[in-house]
Structure 1
Amino acid sequence: MRALFSVLYPVISITVFGLYPSMTIGPKEGWQVYSSAQDADGRCICTVVAPEQNLCSRDAKGRQLRQLLEKVQNMSQSIEVLNLRTQRDFQYVMKMENQMKGLRTKFRQVEDDRKTIMAKNFQELKEKMDELQPLIPVLEQYKTDAQLISSFKEEIRNLSMVLTAIQEEMGAYDYDELYQRVLRLDSRLRNCMGKLTCGKLMKITGPVTIKTSGTRFGAWMTDPQASQRNNRVWYMDSYTNSKIVREYKTMEDFVANVVSRTYNLPFKWEGTGHMVYNGSLYYNKYQSNIIVKYSFETGRVLAQRALEYAGFHNTYPYSWGGYSDIDVMADELGMWVVYATNQNAGNIVIAQMDPDTLEVQKTWNTEYSKRNAGESFMICGTLYITNSHLTGAKVYYSYSTKTSSYEYTDIPFHNQYFHMSMLDYNARERALYAWNNGHQVLFNVTLFHVIKTEDDS
């Protein structure tokens, strides 16, 4: 996927944007974060409300200055790690590296000739601190917890005052205490980023057309469990009467139609609700409610299991038909399967499944008719359902397995080629893969995160 976006968007930039002002967060919920793979203009987005980076120094103690600079650089690298998780951070990394190199040069100048240029360099460092000050009103906008905001503001204000005092009177502050403050900010930033995992769907942008090929119906996918270096693509044309799966080593090969390997499955498939997960293909066996797990490495079926009471062979398909009764999918929390039963009056059933044994671990009965659903996909344990497979479709309904509750939503997306026969979420890429009337396209998603900090516990 990384290679894909290097092809589609040779120049990528970081965009920071605000939250909706109508959203109110309670005092126990912590910081707010938006993250998205890409916006409508093709720009990368990864916005974190986090502690400010502070650069400070006391005197010409070269070793201590270098240690302090190293910790500040580590905080910057932590933010870089967060952006790498979204695969859209190239320009940001370059910017931060240049900034750090500039600061490193200033510190070297202080060490080389502190008597003649000390005052000038510290003034420039003070200006760098002032440039970071706009982070404070952003934090205030995103967080109504006055106590936490006040704490951050006080820490930043104190560090800024210390920097001013250093400029006026060298040696007037305890360096070790200042160093510990930087350490604490660094630790809190890392804790924040460690909790940035799941979120609620807020927006769908795109699509980006990757290729035009095959029939009107089909499926294509990558493995969300694969390493970042593994960008293989799998392609399954048509919704029935086929056993051929084509594999491409990279997204570029897929676009150029350079097939690396072809698999002949032991059983035909039905529908387009297939999934590749941790090196294996999961699909609905032809004219049955059986889920098959097929290993690409060994070329063997590792497991197969019938879904109890699940309708099949156009008993309860999506609105477009195509034997799409059973839809296998995955998200950040694992493997899922969506289907319908007579016992649930033809409404959608969500089942969490063990990817090794295909054993159903738990089920949830929704009140949304499977035949009235255009497509569906899971994100962070929540099933999102579109109200149509045609033009004008939108994400109309969501069901949370965490709370066993549903809500009606209104999240539009652009059905560019008028007929959707496959729509699946890839947690590694934070993107939706779709088969849109013979076009293989990608949609990007924006998720809203509410994460807790130690201050909120």
Structure 2
Amino acid sequence: IPGLSVLRGHETSPGFLLRPPRSPRPLRPLTRSSPEVAASPWRFGEGSVMDASGHCVCTVILPDDTFPLRRLELLETSARNLTLRDYGQRLARYEAKLHNASRRLQGLETGDLTPAELDFQELRKEIDEMEHVVGHLRSSLNGSDTTVEVLQNMSVTVSALESYDKGHVVAMRRELTMLKQRLEDCQKDKPLVGRQPPIGTCDHRGIWRIGKPSVVQLNWRGASYKAGAWGKESSLRAGRKERYWVAPLNLDGRRLDSVRLYGSYQDLLLSRNPTDQLITGSGQGAGPALYNGSFYYNCYNARDLCRLNLESGAVDRKPVPNATFNNRFSYAGTSWQGLDLAADESGLWVLFATERSEGDIVIGRLGPGSLALEKTWQTSQYKPAATNAFMACGVMYATRAVSTRREEIFYAYDTRTGQERRLSLPLDKVTDVVRSLSYNPSDRKLYVYSDGFLLSHDVLFRS
């Protein structure tokens, strides 16, 4: 590949680190799109990383049956020798011509031929040139003429190499092309490693960048259920395993009747061992959250905040003072989202609007284990002008649509300082409308429900 160096057992920058085939490091094969690629013995590491000097490095695991470079070198040598032997045959013809030219020159010198029949100077020049060529080529030719045997050996070698290429080399080239693209992406997006503060802390200067979207799967009810939400449980209690939840709304894009729970990310991917939890009295809108063992949502047809205890099944509810509801000041392109729940490193929040705020977003922090608002902050961001919002380390970030394939984080309000600012952080999307998004502090990902598809993005902070 032009511009990339591959050396066994050495590290290049930028480039690859090649390891023996029995490396103890766990591997995950790249996605293959053809049988030839699937049959390849080549394997690549988990992804691009950055070394101490800031260069992107990928890992390539070579198989035992690597490409027979030595055989190819022998083939080149045979071809070169064969070419020299071909020169030997040409030399025999040149020698015959020289012998004939010498006789003609002798005839010219003795008077048997006239200068009109043969130009003396031109003949002398031609002979000198041919003698030089003969001397050069003859010094390069050694050994007996075994052209037939060399041709037979070369034929066998070429057949073997052709067979090997069909089985492995074509696939290897395809995978190296894919790896080159991953390396280029790493160089564009670096640094992804080494600059992030520890998870769970807020020792940073806010969001620096949002990673590329990763499409997990379609929601379990199907492509027709375009509105909804999903994510990972926040603020896990000691001893509890991770849980993922998916909550598609009904076809009307309003009513929330149930939430499906998975005990692990692997279960979610394989759609196995799900647990369906019915929502008593129903909820509405795509702003729920699973926090500390309870499912929080906007109660149906009310400004009330509901909390469903997943262990006991009990439901508590409490109105959010002055909050508008039933499509009054909902997000742009997303209906029925009057109360938007958001969890971050400091706790659980609710984002809403009031008549008094004239539709601008109000941030409310819930007390520990309570549905009551502990404190509120008034922003200047008009809620219907944003497509969504989320909380991270006490800062509210609002998004808006830039095009059918890109959102933008354009506004931030810091509850710690009361300051707001304008941003321009791109957020790629795979469908036209982002129905909901939420930040999870336990893995620093954005969980996005996009027209029925479940997506996730890595969130990178500025150190």
TM-score (norm 1): 0.57
* Cα distance in 1 for residues equivalent to 2:330 and 2:382: 10
Q: Structure 1 residues 402, 7: CA separation in 2 closer, same or farther (over 3 Å shift)?
A: farther
Q: Structure 1 residues 220, 228: CA separation in 2 closer, same or farther (over 3 Å shift)?
A: farther
Question: Cα deviations across residues 86-128 of structure 1 (Å, max 9, x unaligned)?
Answer: 5xxxxxxxxxxxxxxxxxxxxxxxxxxxxxxxxxxxxxxxxxx
CA contact (8 A) 2:207 2:459 kept: yes
* Cα distance in 2 for residues equivalent to 1:255 and 1:429: 17
Matched residue, 1:15: 50
Query: What is the aligned counterpart of 2:344 among 313, 331, 342?
Result: 331
Q: Structure 1 residues 12, 318: CA separation in 2 closer, same or farther (over 3 Å shift)?
A: same
TM-superposed CA distance for 1:409, in Å, is 0.4
Q: Give the 5 Å matches for 1:428-439.
A: 428-439=442-453
Question: Cα deviations across residues 125-152 of structure 1 (Å, max 9, x unaligned)?
Answer: xxxxxxxxxxxxxxxxxxxxxxxxxxxx
Q: Structure 1 residues 365, 210: CA separation in 2 closer, same or farther (over 3 Å shift)?
A: same
* Cα distance in 1 for residues equivalent to 2:53 and 2:390: 27
Q: Structure 1 residues 345, 316: CA separation in 2 closer, same or farther (over 3 Å shift)?
A: same
TM-superposed CA distance for 1:196, in Å, is 6.1
TM-superposed CA distance for 1:13, in Å, is 5.2
* Cα distance in 1 for residues equivalent to 2:29 and 2:271: 15
TM-score (norm 2): 0.57
Matched residue, 1:89: none
Matched residue, 1:321: 334
Q: Structure 1 residues 390, 270: CA separation in 2 closer, same or farther (over 3 Å shift)?
A: farther
TM-superposed CA distance for 1:334, in Å, is 0.9
Question: Cα deviations across residues 337-370 of structure 1 (Å, max 9, x unaligned)?
Answer: 1000010111110111114121111111111111
Q: Give the 5 Å matches for 1:381-420.
A: 381-388=394-401, 391=404, 392-420=406-434
* Cα distance in 1 for residues equivalent to 2:272 and 2:360: 41
Q: Give the 5 Å matches for 1:241-390.
A: 241-301=255-315, 303-388=316-401
Structure with the greater alpha carbon radius of gyration? 2
CA contact (8 A) 1:348 1:370 kept: yes
Query: What is the aligned counterpart of 2:212 among 206, 212, 232?
Result: 206
Query: What is the aligned counterpart of 2:192 among 39, 42, 45?
Result: 45
Matched residue, 1:440: 454
Q: Structure 1 residues 242, 325: CA separation in 2 closer, same or farther (over 3 Å shift)?
A: closer
* Cα distance in 1 for residues equivalent to 2:241 and 2:230: 16
TM-superposed CA distance for 1:383, in Å, is 0.5
Unaligned runs of 5+ in 2: 1-26, 32-44, 55-183
* Cα distance in 2 for residues equivalent to 1:269 and 1:199: 36
* Cα distance in 1 for residues equivalent to 2:462 and 2:346: 17
Unaligned runs of 5+ in 1: 20-38, 50-81, 87-193, 450-457
CA contact (8 A) 2:402 2:408 kept: no
CA contact (8 A) 1:332 1:380 kept: yes
Structure with the bigger RCO (C-alpha within 8 Å, sep 6+) is 1
- Give the letter for the 1:208 counterpart: S
CA contact (8 A) 2:246 2:260 kept: yes
Q: Structure 1 residues 17, 432: CA separation in 2 closer, same or farther (over 3 Å shift)?
A: farther
CA contact (8 A) 2:409 2:424 kept: yes
SS in 2 for 1:254: helix
Question: Cα deviations across residues 365-397 of structure 1 (Å, max 9, x unaligned)?
Answer: 111111111110111111000123862320011
Q: Structure 1 or 2: larger helix share? A: 1
Give the paired residue count: 284
- Give the letter for the 2:246 counterpart: Y
Find out whether 1:230 has 2:241 as its counterpart: yes
CA contact (8 A) 1:199 1:380 kept: no
* Cα distance in 2 for residues equivalent to 1:300 and 1:389: 42
* Cα distance in 2 for residues equivalent to 1:381 and 1:259: 35
Question: RMSD of aligned C-alpha atoms?
Answer: 2.9
Matched residue, 2:437: 423
Q: Structure 1 residues 17, 293: CA separation in 2 closer, same or farther (over 3 Å shift)?
A: farther
Question: Cα deviations across residues 398-449 of structure 1 (Å, max 9, x unaligned)?
Answer: 1111111111100011022121001100000101000011110001111013
SS in 1 for 2:301: coil
